[in-house]
Amino acid sequence: MMDYEIIYKFFAKEATPEETDRLEMWLKEDPSHEEEFNKAYELFVLTHMSAGSSIADMSCQDKIAQEQVAQALPAGSKPVGADGETRRPHRIWRILSYTAAVAASLAAGIFINSHFYTKPAVELINGTTLFSEARPGQRTSVVLSDGTKVELNSDSRIEYPAIFRDGERRIRLDGEAMFDVTHDPEHPFIVETFAYDVKVLGTKFDVIADKDENEFSTALIEGKVRIMDKNANPLITLNPNMVATLENGNLLTSYMGDHDDYLWTDGIISASGVPFDKLMQRFERCYGHNIVILREEMPQIRFAYLKLRISDGMEHALELLRKGSDFKYSYDESSNTYYIN
């Protein structure tokens, strides 16, 4: 019996030469092992995508599969078997040529459903819940099995099924994400949050769902969305350039003048016309630091137009703000906290 840890180590290019030899011998023992190998790789690809890793460089060409085998060996080593003879791992290359095609399709955002997979593979991953998360100060993106693209802001997480089956396409969000949903009227897409559920048919929109801060908002860029309570009762339908925000227990709507508040997907924070305390909340989410404001009166930002690159860092952003405002700040490294005075 083959240890699945070795199989996954091989896919991750972390297997030793001895482990790669064992894997090849196991594949030769029984034709059914090839099917197990294929199923394991399909699951590995899906899980890899859920963690935000890039597999866009995979293709269905044997050359790529051969490179995977070669890269699994230490630099300078030769593919030599346990018997000391030169190994010919063409069998592994041929098997990976099929599974790499699955990876390429997923990376390209091609619609993948249960009919794409073999029956054993569907049984293996059916009901499997995956997750993708962006750590504080980072952003990541993931393509779901239906081709929907999700960009996660810092300190955010989504949970979703490995494959959407019959009925609705439902995922859960904690934090902030921008969705570009694949159109499929027969299978509505639903974003579940702590406060409300957001139902769409095919659209681009941003959702903030921060339970700790009791913060919820939905901003519609394209298409149409419907916000529902937890009993699936419709509350508000949004048209393009509308925003729904939870304030003091009430769901309020407004119109956005531009899309500057959602430039975080391009690595930019807009500080134009944003109250200081709201801007600090954006800083916390995008930079991954804690911010404590130690003054009753909020500083005024005297910039008519200001955009900040997230990649320049928190210190750079605060220094720019100081040139048009009247505050000081200090940083406590032990608690990762900035204090605004």
| Tens digit of each residue's pLDDT (9 = 90 or more) over 39-80 | 677 666 655 544 444 333 333 333 333 343 333 333 333 333
Per-residue pLDDT averaged across 206-216, rounded?
92
Q: Does pLDDT of 167 surpass 50? A: yes
pTM of the model: 0.61
Per-residue pLDDT averaged across 241-268, rounded?
89
Q: Does pLDDT of 327 surpass 70? A: yes
Per-residue pLDDT averaged across 211-223, rounded?
92
C-alpha–C-alpha distance, residues 257 and 254, integer Å:
10
**What tokens does 99 get?**
């599974």
pLDDT digits (tens, 9 = 90+) for 101-128: 444 444 433 334 444 444 444 555 566 7
Instruction: Kindly report the number of other CB atoms within 10 A of residue 73's CB atom.
Output: 18
Strand bridging mode 215-222 / 234-238 = unpaired
**What tokens does 202 get?**
């095919």
Whole-number pLDDT of residue 109: 36
C-alpha–C-alpha distance, residues 160 and 191, integer Å:
10
Q: 213 or 209: whose pLDDT is higher?
A: 209
Whole-number pLDDT of residue 27: 83
Q: Minimum mean pLDDT among 64-78, 190-204, 211-225: which range?
A: 64-78
Q: 260 or 279: whose pLDDT is higher?
A: 279
Whole-number pLDDT of residue 26: 85
Provide the pLDDT confidence category of residue 86 given band limits of 50, 70 and 90.
Answer: very low
Q: 93 or 337: whose pLDDT is higher?
A: 337
Instruction: Kindly report the number of other CB atoms within 10 A of residue 85's CB atom.
Output: 8
CB 244 within 8 A of CB 218: yes
> Half-sphere exposure of 302 toward its Cβ, with a 13 Å CA cutoff?
6
Whole-number pLDDT of residue 183: 84
**What is the b/e burial string over 228-260, where b = at least 16 CB atoms within 10 angstroms of the residue's CB?**
beeeeeeeeebebebbbebeeeebeeeeeeeeb
Q: 326 or 119: whose pLDDT is higher?
A: 326
Per-residue pLDDT averaged across 168-177, rounded?
94
Residue span(s) of the chain under CATH 2.60.120.1440 come to 128-255
Architecture of domain 267-340: 3-Layer(bab) Sandwich (3.55)
128-255 classified as CATH 3.30.830.10: no
Residue span(s) of the chain under CATH 3.55.50 come to 267-340
Per-residue pLDDT averaged across 275-294, rounded?
90
Q: Minimum mean pLDDT among 13-17, 142-146, 305-309: which range?
A: 13-17
pLDDT digits (tens, 9 = 90+) for 328-341: 999 999 999 999 99
Q: Does pLDDT of 257 surpass 90? A: no
Whole-number pLDDT of residue 158: 94
Which long-range contacts (C-beta less than 8 Å, at least 24 apart) are formed by 220-228? 221/259, 221/262, 223/181, 224/200, 225/198, 225/199, 225/200, 226/198, 226/199, 226/200, 227/196, 227/197, 227/198, 227/199, 227/251, 228/196, 228/197, 228/198, 228/199
Whole-number pLDDT of residue 137: 82
Residue 308 φ then ψ, to 5° = -120, 135
Segment holding 103, helix H or strand E: helix 90-107
**What tokens does 19 get?**
């482990």
Q: Which amino acid is residue 341, in one-letter code?
A: N
Instruction: Kindly report the number of other CB atoms within 10 A of residue 332's CB atom.
Output: 11
Average pLDDT, the chain: 76
Residue 248 φ then ψ, to 5° = 55, 40
Whole-number pLDDT of residue 16: 83
